[in-house]
Amino acid sequence: MSFEAFEPGYKIAVVGAGAVGCYYGGKLARNGGNVHFLMRSDLAAVRKQGLHIRSQDGGFHLERVNAHASTEEIGPCDLVIVALKTTSNPALDALIPPLLKENTAVLTLQNGLGNEEFLAGRFGTQRIMGGLCFVCLNRTAPGVIEHYGYGTLSIGEFGRASQERTRRIVEDFAATGITTRLVENLATERWRKLVWNVPFNGLSIAGGGITTDLILADEGLHKLTRNLMAEVMAAAGNEGHVIPHEFIEEQVRRTLKMGAYKPSSLIDYLDGREVEVESIWGEPYRRGLASGTEMGRMEALYYLLKKLTPPGMVRHR
């Protein structure tokens, strides 16, 4: 299987056209990318009114969007961007194959741990890349994405050094105005993102449906946030991914600037959708235990979230 640099105009599929998929895919499309979106509930709205990205950094409207009802309709691509919630991963067994040709690359922008391994086991390790999104986004209406801040991307190969295709994808995202960096150790970046995701996504739900500013304003929750961050960093260190202690202060400072921000897991919870409990809390907890890390606070949060967000649960506002 050959993975040489992509040719100009290479074809991109976005599987999972929610906030993340529409924002990053939309930026590529606006910059001339040949981007095709798999859409379900938003399909009719996007075909009629296009895609709206609203942002304090300068929003835009894509009047014409390559929006499709199935991956068979999209057909084989050079790059597949996976932006589905990890709770929908079983659907990828059917969704991905129609998009593949011999040298198709698959880039997952999903949260948590284990996503690259999941994809590699089904579609081949050599295809797989991972991306970490540090961004504040919400989908507020069909075909409407609100961007509140940040947006940086870290992209790397799964289990191997960067290649020509990696550099091309990084360059193409950077050309849209997104701060994008190439990383040689994707696993370390996954753990670094969990330092934020574990406490803020989890405590926003466990704290009764509260925003990040309220978590940090509460003395007890603020302390618990820092302790959870420290546990994640200890688990990462025991797997060989050293994250400096100052990273905690950096994450707290960044979060204070976000104001009353609703993490994505809280939005899923409030809207009655399944929460990505296993990829964000379950897998890091299990890996931490396996490496001999003390994971008491993580254990409590993980089991509490499983209780609060059982699979198939439907909540009503």
Q: Which of 161, 184, 207 is the last residue of a domain?
A: 184
> Which value, in Å, is the radius of gyration of the alpha carbons in the chain?
19
Per-residue pLDDT tens for 213-231?
Answer: 999 999 999 999 999 999 9
Do 230 and 170 lie in one domain? The reply is no
Express each pLDDT in 25-53 by its tens digit: 999 999 999 999 999 999 999 999 999 99
Which among 191, 188, 194, 179 has a CA at the least distance from the CA of 265? 194
- Encode 44-71: b = buried (16+ Cβ within 10 Å), e = exposed: ebbeeebbbbebeeeeeebeebbbbeeb
Residue 238: domain span: 188-308
Q: Which CATH number fits the domain that encloses residue 48? A: 3.40.50.720
- Number of domains observed in the structure of the chain: 2
Which of 4-8, 17-21, 73-77 has maximum average pLDDT? 73-77
Nearest to 145 by CA among 128, 133, 160, 156: 133
- Residue 313 located in a structural domain: no
Counting residues of the chain whose pLDDT is more than 70, the rounded percentage is 96
Contact in structure between 283 and 198 (CB atoms under 8 Å) = no
- Domain shared by 54 and 73, yes or no: yes
Report yes or no: 252 and 226 within 8 Å, Cβ to Cβ: yes
Residues 209, 91 share a domain:
no
On whether both 154 and 234 belong to a single domain, the answer is no
11, 27, 193, 262: which is the annotated catalytic residue? 193
CA distance 289 to 283: 10
| Contact assessment for residue 148 and residue 56, using Cβ atoms and an 8 Å cutoff | yes
Q: Are 257 and 162 within one domain?
A: no
Q: Check: CB of residue 68 under 8 Å from CB of residue 46.
A: no
Between CA 114 and CA 54 the distance in angstroms is 32
pTM of the model: 0.90
Whether 307 sits among the annotated catalytic residues: the reply is: no
Q: Are residues 129 and 40 in the same domain?
A: yes
Cβ atoms within 10 A of the Cβ of 312, count? 5
**Total residue count of the chain as it appears in this document:** 317
